[in-house]
Amino acid sequence: MNPDPLTGGRLAALFLLGLVLFLPPLVGLAGGGTVFGIPALFVSVYASWALVILLLALVLRRARPPDRGEGR
Amino acid sequence: MTSSLFVLLPLVAYCGLLFAVATIAERARRRPPRAWMYVLSLGVYCTSWTYYGSVGRASARGIDFLPIYLGPTLVCVLGWPLLAKILRISKAQRITSIADFIASRYARSGLLAGLVTLIAVIGSVPYIALQLKAVSSSLLVMLPPGGGEGAVTFGAAALLAVFGVLFGAARIDPDEHHRGLVAAIALESVVKLVCLAAVGLFTGLVLFDGFGDLFARAAALPQALALTTLQTPGSEWTGLLLVSMAAAICLPRQFQMLVVENRDERHLAPALWGFPLYLFAINLFVLPIALAGLLLLPKGGDADMVVLTLPLAAGARWLSLLALIGGLSAATAMVLVESVALSTMVCNDLVVPVLLRLPGRRRANLSGVLLGVRRAAIVGVVLLGLLYMRQVGDTYALVSIGLMSFCAAAQFAPAIVLGLFWRGATRAGALAGIASGFLLWVWTLFLPSLALSHILYPGFLESGVFGWAWTRPYALFGLTGLDPITHSLFWSMLANIGLLVGGSVLVRPSAFERAQARAFVDVFAAPADPHAWGGAAPVADLAALLGRFMGPARAHIQLQELVRNARADPAAAHADPAVVRGVERLLAGIIGGASAHVLVASVAGERPVAVEEVMRIVDESAKIREYSRQLEEKSRELERTTEELRRANAILQQLDRLKDEFVSNVSHELRTPLTSIRSFSEILLDDPDIELEQRQQFLAIIVRESERLTRLITDMLDLAKMQSGDLHWQFADVQLAGLLHDAAASTGQLFRDRGVTLTLALADDLPPVRADADRITQVAINLLSNAVKFSPAGTGQVRLRLFRDNGGQTIEVVDNGPGIAPADQAVIFERFRQAGDGLTEKPAGTGLGLAICRTIVERHGGTLTVESAPGEGATFRVMIP
């Protein structure tokens, strides 16, 4: 039921990436330091979140919408 | 503090603005729907919980407010297979709510729809209470003291209920799209985002010298510094992420906005990244605001209200008013959509089924009743929230209350997700799974919340019921070490998924259930509507049915449109199946699929387990049977062919062997006379002095052997001609007796030479037969010569008989020779085969005689057989028809 196998595969990969980034142990890996004066933990979580959204938007903008009869 | 008027006037103005936007959007029905409006309306996910609660949570625990937004982001990544499918199904089935969706998947089960509705209502009560608490708390912060806490809370509840009624239950619409509501929610999403961002920017840029300064000063405060590392246990973080993933779809209001209010499937793609982006944006300033609250505000204040108190403490009255309006946006949006969703469910899945069962109600016009039910449901839900908030609200922070609702909504996720991708998920499994998950939620989260607020006796938290330690709600079956949310999620999901799968594999589904399962799982492949109405439905009855829910005039118009669309006969007394389906869809839009199904069934006669479905099942199995039949036939054919091939091969091998034998026999037969001719010729040539007498003797041998050679070659040519069909046969009516007399005469000399007696017993009164006289004579001569050859010299007795047999005439040649062993009887008719051991007995003939005889007789359509026993002579029998 995926629109096309390529998009399906990309989304699946992105989902796995998101799981890894958003779940422990990676999510809490950044310790106490700062990046540009902002606590590293905040930067790492927000940056990985932004990355996933950006990739998602890129994948979806290239995808064809799902249509009846395509794939099973 | 500020004056009441300063606070209330802008609020009233804001409410007026919302109404105006909603009304304009409702009027502009013809305008195509906008993708951005759909995307923004999904922002209803962010409620007071996000607006006030996140800051409160972040003030105490740092970044762990975020999994609640990361989960929906991940769901959006999966959105294409998951949400696109839900959308397509909902359009095809005219889904009006999440209860409708789940019930439709599982055989339109009214029981399941009711159960889901009940859980949704109970599960939403804490959530609505959360909004009420936030609104009343925020008003209490802003209003001058002394207004009376109860009055403010009640006023907030009344405001939200009125909003819900006005936006969500203004009238009954069969397509269940609330354009005005969507527009208002989209506006509110913008408002709350702008307001929170304004407070955030004010905090960073006005209260501090940029965000760097803010973080630097926070680093100096131990309490704030602690927030910059992850304090949350991994299990809790994971639990929050998972529960929010489920909630992003399963919360009644999310389902309402995401699925029911979606008017164009193409809007899904931008929503899938736009919604996470919105979540990202609205959460951007949470941490700075929380840290600023810790740095600037006095300890002991309500952390949940920092968004308001921070600008207020800084003297920015207008900004705090803006923040208040943003908070109100967040709360009203949630209550509006939630109450619309819940009232639809309560009306369609709880009240209508009961109404339909009441006697006398079936004939009444129900459209007014439905509207009343919905409005009452909205007010009721808000009142329940108010009640819960009054009793429990003070015990919990905003986020903790909301999470409880998330867990309740998550109970729908297994039935939805498995139902979308696994055809085998059944009604029994879904009922058992959802019910068990809900009961465990009640035990591990809901009842404890009442106990902690001393509505229930709190002792059971410590010791369980009846002193059974394993029943403790926060440590069920002795499971400790998890926070209450994760603990509850674990047990309820374990039971939910386990029973869903178990029930599905144990209970056999009905045909209709399987049809619905297929309509859901294969929605992208199968035609949209899985069932056809079999019975004949009178148009008048359908019109009456529709009229009861939308008024006779509109019903008439809708019905005419359906008939037109279906290209059916407008004057027909009985409706076209397509029209009946259309009526069911219209009704489903008003009262939900399960009830619509029952109603239309009452008019269209017996149930629809669709002939189509039955036919399809029959078809499928017939196809399979046909296929296997073909396979069997093929394999039988193959076996037959193989057997034939094997036989042919055996015959070929036999023929090959015979040919080899023949060739070797022929060469042997030819070489024997040739050898003697050659040797005697050489003797004569080499020795000129040989005596005349001996010379004569030698020459006689040469002549005899040459004759034998000639005979052999003649016989072979004869046989070859006969067998290849080249021989010219001359058939005529002949008297066999005459022929046999001739043959006996020709062979008389042989008999006399050998001293063998020949006796004739020929019936001469027989009718002529059609035969080749020369050939038959040849056969007789051959047989007689053979008989002479094998009879003992001097005492031999040969009898030649001719008599009428059944169906023809038979010639018999009987001798009293040594006889033929049974093993040899079959082979003597083959070429060069003579009975006995060819090495010790000199062959007395060419070995072709009997083969020639049999060929001749068979050419006449007769048979040549032999009967013999060793030592008792032999009988050759020729039967000519």
Cβ(B169)–Cβ(B340) below 8 Å: yes
pLDDT at position B833: 59
Round to whole Å and give the CA distance between B156 and B393.
Answer: 15
A33 vs B: CB within 8 A = no
Instruction: Measure CB to CB from residue A19 to each of B74, B219, B269 and give the nearest one.
Output: B74
pLDDT more than 70, % of chain B:
91
Classify B602 in phi/psi space as left (phi over 0), alpha (psi -120 to 50) or beta. alpha
Are A72 and B525 inside 8 Å of each other by CB?
yes
Strands, DSSP E only, in B2-77? Answer: none
Rg of chain B over Cα atoms, rounded to whole angstroms, equals: 54
Residues of chain A contacting B230 with CB distance shorter than 8 Å: 24, 27-28, 41
Neighbours of B682 (CB within 10 A): 10
pLDDT at position B837: 44
pLDDT above 90 for B35: no
Instruction: Measure CB to CB from residue B524 to each of A1, A39, A50 and give the nearest one.
Output: A1
A66 min Cα distance to partner chain B (Å): 8
B80 vs A: CB within 8 A = yes
Q: What is the DSSP letter of B408?
A: H
Place of tokens 């009214």: B110
B549 min Cα distance to partner chain A (Å): 33
pLDDT at position B295: 86
Are B81 and A70 inside 8 Å of each other by CB?
no
Structural tokens at position B204? 């960073």
Cβ(B165)–Cβ(B422) below 8 Å: no
A62 min Cα distance to partner chain B (Å): 10
pLDDT above 50 for B528: no
Instruction: Return the closest-CA partner of residue B241 out of B356, B360, B69, B476.
Output: B69
Cβ(B219)–Cβ(B225) below 8 Å: yes
Instruction: Return the closest-CA partner of residue A21 out of B77, B45, B254.
Output: B77
Place of tokens 């005469």: B745
The values of phi and psi at residue B340, to 5°, are: -65, -45
**B614-618, B725-729, B788-792: lowest mean pLDDT where?**
B614-618
pLDDT above 80 for B692: yes
pLDDT at position B760: 83
B84 vs A: CB within 8 A = yes
A8 vs B: CB within 8 A = yes
Round to whole Å and give the CA distance between B57 and B61.
Answer: 6
B28 min Cα distance to partner chain A (Å): 27
Round to whole Å and give the CA distance between B278 and B296.
Answer: 28
Could you report the per-residue pLDDT of B755-767, keeping only the tens digit for each?
Answer: 888 888 888 788 8
Average of per-residue pLDDT across B398-424: 87
pLDDT above 60 for A20: yes
Global pTM value: 0.65
**A56-60, B61-65, B138-142, B657-661: lowest mean pLDDT where?**
B657-661
Are A8 and B70 inside 8 Å of each other by CB?
no
Are B70 and A49 inside 8 Å of each other by CB?
yes
Are A11 and B522 inside 8 Å of each other by CB?
no
A45 vs B: CB within 8 A = yes
Give the residues across from B800 on adjacent strands. Answer: B760, B813
Most A CBs within 10 Å: which of B77, B229, B266, as the mutation test of the A interface?
B77
pLDDT above 90 for B227: no
Could you report the per-residue pLDDT of B813-836, keeping only the tens digit for each?
Answer: 888 888 787 777 777 777 665 554
pLDDT at position B806: 75
Amino acid at B478: G
Round to whole Å and give the CA distance between B361 and B371.
Answer: 16
Instruction: Return the closest-CA partner of residue B342 out of B378, B390, B296.
Output: B378
Structural tokens at position B58? 């972040």
Instruction: Return the closest-CA partner of residue A15 out of B78, B68, B249, B240.
Output: B78
**B283-297, B392-406, B687-701: lowest mean pLDDT where?**
B392-406
Residues of chain A contacting B522 with CB distance shorter than 8 Å: 72
Amino acid at B500: L
A to B CB pairs, distance under 8 Å:
125
- Averaged confidence pLDDT in chain B: 81
Q: Where does the pLDDT of residue B560 fall: very low under 50, low under 70, confident under 90, or very high at 90 and above?
A: confident
Higher pLDDT pick, B78 / B613: B78
**DSSP letters spanning B672-703:** HHHHHHHHHHHHHHH-TT--HHHHHHHHHHHH
pLDDT at position B198: 93
> Highest-confidence range of B106-120, B658-672, B810-824, B862-876, by mean pLDDT?
B106-120
Average of per-residue pLDDT across B706-734: 79
**A25-39, B526-540, B795-809: lowest mean pLDDT where?**
B526-540
Are A72 and B522 inside 8 Å of each other by CB?
yes
B88 min Cα distance to partner chain A (Å): 9
Most A CBs within 10 Å: which of B80, B89, B229, B236, as the mutation test of the A interface?
B80
